[in-house]
Amino acid sequence: MELNHEQQTQFGPQADSQRTLYPYVTGTSVVALKYKDGILMAADMGASYGSTLRYKSVERMKAVGKHSLLGASGEISDFQELLRSLDELILYDNMWDDGNSLGPKELHNYLTRVMYNRRNKFDPFWNSLVLGGVKNGEKYLGMVTMLGVNFEDNHVATGFGNHLARPILRDGWHEDLSYEDGVKLLEKCMRVLLYRDRSAVNKLQIAKITEEGVTVSQPYSLKTFWGFSAFQNPTVGAEGSW
């Protein structure tokens, strides 16, 4: 047993502590969908330290270059580090100044390679990433996990969203969703997540990307209703329990 422990730490305690062995500060679900003119994405602004709600104004959706929008759940510091390296990538891409630019498809593939390479080093970026974008009239929406698992779909959701939001999306999504209907559908998802996901907070942003560019909304909250009678007197139907 002791020997086993020795083997595990053969690279020294330092090497161990420089890897993300588990996440510290985490963001919860990101939900995104394709709509008529591009991509809509929603994420709340909470960041948890374990079960403590540690931060309440964390932006988890950011524009990357002209054509892409990146959203992340999972370790916030890893996401912010990733954004720094992506900004550098985009800067170098712009510096060529040759009329070519990395589109959402290229970035999604790049991110997949980054995530997969880090998992190969046993030093993963502890995130699920959602990449949406529009370039040359082509809509793009894809996802990458911390292991490098990647795919495209008409709508995606990370974490709890995968359980709670995607069924709603499958039900309500169609190809030529208007902006208003898209936002409504996302808010429906976010409201369910708010009710049922313990780490979700009622302060969210919705981001939009179209051929014209990226806009991330100001933080706002959803109308909720907690006055259901079952909430007010939860034991009414369970006689004999406390």
Partner 1 sequence: MKKEHASFNPYDNNGGTCVAIAGADYCVIAADTRMSSGYNILTRDYSKVCKLADKCLLASSGFQADVKALQKVLGARHLIYQHQHNKQMSCPAMAQLLSNTLYYKRFFPYYAFNVLGGLDDEGKGVVYTYDAVGSYEKVGYSSQGSGSTLIMPFLDNQLKSPSPLLLPPQDAVTPLSEAEAVDLVKTTFVSAAERDIYTGDKLEIVILNADGIRREYMDLRKD
Partner 2 sequence: MFRNQYDTDVTTWSPAGRLFQVEYSMEAVKQGSAAIGLRSKTHVVLACVNKANSELSSHQKKIFKVDDHIGVAIAGLTADGRVLSRYMRSECINYNFTYESPLPVGRLVVQLADKAQVCTQRSWKRPYGVGLLVAGLDESGAHLYYNCPSGNYFEYQAFAIGSRSQAAKTYLERRFENFMDSSRDDLVKDALIAVRETLQGETLKSSICTVAVVGVGEAFHILDQDTVQQLIDAFDIVGEAEGPAAEPDAPAGEDAPADQAAGADQGAPADQGVAPMDI
- How distant, in Å, are the alpha carbons of 55, 117, 195, 226 from that of 233? 32, 52, 18, 12
Q: Note the helical H segments in 29-178.
A: 76-96, 104-120, 160-172
- ∠ Cα 109 114 115 (to 5°): 95
Residue 116 binding partner 2, by CB under 8 A: no
Whether the CB-CB separation of 184 and 37 falls below 8 Å is answered with no
Q: Which is nearer to partner 2, 116 or 179 (CB)?
A: 116
| Among the listed residues 109, 154, 202, 210, the single contact to partner 2 using CB under 8 A | 109
What whole-number distance in Å separates Cα of residue 75 and Cα of residue 200? 15
Judged by beta carbon distances under 5 to 8 A according to partner kind, the member of partner 2, partner 1, none in contact with residue 21 is partner 1
In the complex, the smallest distance separating the C-beta of residue 112 from partner 1, rounded to whole angstroms, is 7
Selection from partner 2, partner 1, none that 151 binds (CB < 5 to 8 A by kind) is partner 1
Type of residue numbered 117:
N
> Does the footprint of partner 2 cover residue 19 (CB under 8 A)?
no
Per CB under 8 A, does 110 bind partner 2? yes
Decide whether 118 or 208 has the Cβ nearer to partner 2.
118
Q: What is the token pair recorded at 130?
A: 């959602």
Q: Report if residue 137 touches partner 2, rule: CB under 8 A.
A: no
Min separation Cβ 120 and partner 2, Å: 14
CB of 107 to partner 2, least distance (A): 8
> Binding of partner 2 at residue 113 (CB under 8 A)?
yes
CB 103, CB 3: distance < 8 Å: no
Annotated active-site residue 210? The verdict is no
Distance CA 133, CA 137 (A): 10
Query: Comparing C-alpha atoms, which of 53, 55, 56 is closest to residue 203?
Result: 56
Supply angle C-alpha 188, 26, 68, rounded to 5.
65
- Partner from partner 2, partner 1, none contacting 99, C-beta within 5 to 8 A by type: partner 2
Give pairs for 10-18: CB < 8 Å, separation 24+: 18/123
Catalytic residue, chosen from 20, 26, 28, 145, is 20
CA atoms within 13 A on the CB side of 28: 30
Closer residue to partner 2, CB minimum distance, 89 or 222? 89
The nearer residue to partner 1, 66 or 119, going by C-beta atoms, is: 119
Q: Provide the mask over 76-105, with x wherever binding to partner 2 is found by CB under 8 A and - wherever it is not.
A: --------------------x-xxx-xx-x
- Structure tokens that stand for 72 in this block: 């992340």
Q: Which is nearer to partner 1, 105 or 119 (CB)?
A: 119
Residues lying near partner 2 in the complex (CB under 8 A): 96, 98-100, 102-103, 105-106, 109-110, 113
**Active centre residues (catalytic):** 20
